[in-house]
Structure formats: C-alpha cells, structure tokens
Amino acid sequence: MERSDDELIHAVLNGDTESFELLIQRYQPRVFATARRYARREDEVADIVQEIFIKAFQKLSGFRRDAPFEHWLMRLAVRTCYDALRVHQRNRESLFTEITEEQSEWLERFNANPDGADDHGDAARQLVRKILEQLPPAARLVITLLEIEERSVKEISALTGWSVPLVKVRAFRARAAMRKILDKMERDKYL
Amino acid sequence: MNIEKLQKKLLAVARQDAPSDRVPYAFEKRIMARLRQAPAADAWVYWGRMLWRATAPCVAVMVVLSVWTFYSASGNGSEVNLEDAVLAPVQLAYE
C-alpha cells in the first residue's frame, strides 16, 4: 500500500531520510514542469529542481499541514524559480539581435493577417520565450502565472507571498512592460 | 501593427506550449546523494542564529525601558544622582 504524504513527512522528520526519496519521486514531474517555465536551459532546470527539493528537505519541519504538501512544495518551487530569475537578471540576452528569419516571417504573417498566423509554429514559441526573457523577474513571474497558467490573483498571492493588491499592480505593470517590448520591436523595424 | 492583438496571440501561443514534465533518469538519487553529503548540523550555528534572532527583541526591550525610565525619572521630579545611589552603601558603612 502506498504511503501518504503525511506518513512520509512524519518518517522524514523522525530521522528516516530515505522516505524523502519517495516524496521526490512523487512530485518531481510537476516541479520539473514548473522550473522549465522559468529556466533558460535544461541544465539550469535540473539545478533549480535540486535546489527546490533540498530547500524542501531543510524546511520540512516548518510545514504546518494546514494545506496539502503539494501546495507547500509548489509555493517553494515558485519562490525558488523567482529567486533564480532575479539571479540571472543581469545575464539576459539581447532580444533584437537574435530574432531569426523564421520568427521575423511569423511576425510578418501575423502583421498581414493577425487571425491567420498559426499558434503552433516553433517560430512563435521561440519568439514568446524571447519576449518573456526580456521581462523583469517579477513581471515574468506574474505574466506566467496569470496569463499563461491562468491562475487567479488569489492563487498567485498565495504562491508568491505578495499581497493581492501587489499582484494586481505587478500584473498591470507586467502587461505594460510586455507591450513596451513589442512596441520597441516594431520601432526597430523588425515587424 | 496591433500590439494588443500581438500580445494576446503570443500569450495564447505560450499557453499552448506546456512545458515537459520529463525527469532525468534517477534524478531523485542525485538529490538524496546531496542530502547525505550535507554536513551534520552544527550546534554553534544554531546558537549563533538564535542570538541573531534575539537581537531585535532585545533592542526593542532596551529602547522601551530607556524611554520609560527617562520619562518616569523626569516626570515626578525625583531625580537620583547616580553617584550618590552607587555610593550609598559605602557612605552608610562610614556613618
């Protein structure tokens, strides 16, 4: 019979470190998917996930069991990803020198027929990733959670530890920052 | 160029591009190995952390007591000379 999260946590806190491996196995796919939203490269993803689980192990005694372990872990994951974004903020790559011909063509197709441009093209996916990379960490986090993962403001508040009004303000600024990047692209005649 | 529409389109693209939840082979073993390698908790580190945490409340208590002492001493006109107070037992012994 599969042991519950509570049983495993209880065992870990009583010195049975090996039980933590089962918790990792249970939640690592979800944590990997979250980290991939924010990391730039695959090796960075593994480092972030490792940091998340090590932090989870170290802070496990602080888990109060008033919410499922998964929620607590995902909160830790989102905050660690945010920290990683802030660390790499200085190393952001330039957007405008790296727009490929394919991406430029996708933008031209969109310009000619906004409703007709396909949503599944690699070029569009790469372009949106580049734009997200240009956003400041808080803006990227809030755009990802609110617009891409379609979470509520309240959920984002719980995940990030920001107050609800702060989430709203940051969401407003994030959308504006994204539009500014797109405006700049247009001004630089990439569109 | 309709920037609003482009923004919406790109966000729609991002929504459809769900990240993979693939996990590298035996990744949990790697983390467990790291956890086993972690140095044992040092009692002095915990003691140091506790001292740092105690700093703010101690400073707060000190400020509150200082303010209270200052106002209570200056408010009732019963100012006591520190030197007299400290040396009072000595003077009593001589008398």
**Residue B66 located in a structural domain:** yes
pLDDT confidence of residue A97: 53
Nearest to A182 among B6, B14, B29 (CB): B6
pLDDT confidence of residue A191: 47
Q: Which of A182, A189, A190 to mutate to test the interface with B (most CBs of B within 10 A)?
A: A182
Cα dist from A55 to A38, A72, A113, A153, whole Å: 18, 12, 48, 26
Among chain A residues, CA nearest to B40:
A58
pLDDT confidence of residue A98: 65
**Eight-state DSSP code of residue B43:** H
Beta-carbon count within 10 A of B73 CB? 12
Number of structural domains (chain B) is 1
Residue with tokens 């974004």: A85
Nearest to B15 among A33, A148, A175 (CB): A148
Between chain A and chain B, how many beta carbons pairs sit less than 8 Å apart? 99
A57/B27 Cβ within 8 A? no
**Residue B4 located in a structural domain:** no
Q: Name the minimum distance, in Å, from the CA of B3 to any CA of chain A.
A: 7
Q: Which of A41, A53, A78 to mutate to test the interface with B (most CBs of B within 10 A)?
A: A53
Q: Are A50 and B34 in contact (CB under 8 A)?
A: yes
**Residue B51 located in a structural domain:** yes
**Mean of all residue pLDDT scores within chain A:** 87
Q: What angle do CA A153, A50, B27 make, to 5 degrees?
A: 120
Tokens (6 digits) for A155: 């959920």
pLDDT over 60 (residue B91) = yes
Which residues of chain B are at the A interface, by a Cβ-Cβ cutoff of 8 Å? 1-7, 9-24, 27-32, 34-36, 38
Distance CA B59, CA A51 (A): 35
**Residue B46 located in a structural domain:** yes
Taken in order of first residue, the domains within chain A and their CATH numbers are: 1-91 (1.10.1740.10), 94-191 (1.10.10.10)
**Residue B69 located in a structural domain:** yes
pLDDT confidence of residue A95: 47
- Residue A17 near chain B (CB below 8 Å): yes
The pLDDT tens digits for B38-82 are 766 678 888 998 999 999 999 999 999 999 988 877 655 555 677
**Residue B6 located in a structural domain:** no
What residue numbers bound the domain in which B55 lies? 42-76
At what angle are helices A164-187 and B3-16 packed, to 10 degrees?
A: 110
A131/B10 Cβ within 8 A? yes
The pLDDT tens digits for B6-16 are 888 889 888 98
pTM for this model (two decimals): 0.74
Q: Name the minimum distance, in Å, from the CA of A22 to any CA of chain B.
A: 8
Residues with Cβ < 8 Å from A12, sequence gap 6 or more? A19, A20, A23, A57, A60
Among chain B residues, CA nearest to A58:
B35
Say if residue B44 is exposed, middle or buried (CB neighbours under 10 Å; 0-12, 13-18, 19+): exposed
Residue A38's nearest CA partner among A2, A84, A4 is A84
The pLDDT tens digits for A10-63 are 999 998 989 999 999 999 999 999 999 999 888 899 999 999 999 999 999 888
Q: Are A8 and A18 in contact (CB under 8 A)?
A: no
Q: Are A124 and A78 in contact (CB under 8 A)?
A: no
Residue with tokens 């403001």: A153
B27/A24 Cβ within 8 A? yes
Q: Are A28 and B28 in contact (CB under 8 A)?
A: yes
pLDDT confidence of residue B4: 85
pLDDT confidence of residue A48: 95
Question: Would you list the DSSP string of A117-157?
Answer: S-SS-HHHHHHHHHHHHHS-HHHHHHHIIIIIS---HHHHH
Distance CA A101, CA A103 (A): 5
The pLDDT tens digits for A87-99 are 887 665 554 556 7
Q: Which uninterrupted H or E stretch holds A50? A: helix A42-59
Residue A20's nearest CA partner among B32, B72, B78, B11 is B32
pLDDT confidence of residue B71: 84
Q: Name the minimum distance, in Å, from the CA of B57 to any CA of chain A.
A: 22
Q: What is the ipTM of this complex?
A: 0.81
**Residue B86 located in a structural domain:** no
Q: Are A126 and B14 in contact (CB under 8 A)?
A: no
Confidence of residue A74 (pLDDT cuts 50, 70, 90): very high
**Residue B12 located in a structural domain:** no
pLDDT confidence of residue B76: 58
Among chain B residues, CA nearest to A39:
B19
Terminal CA-CA length for chain A: 58
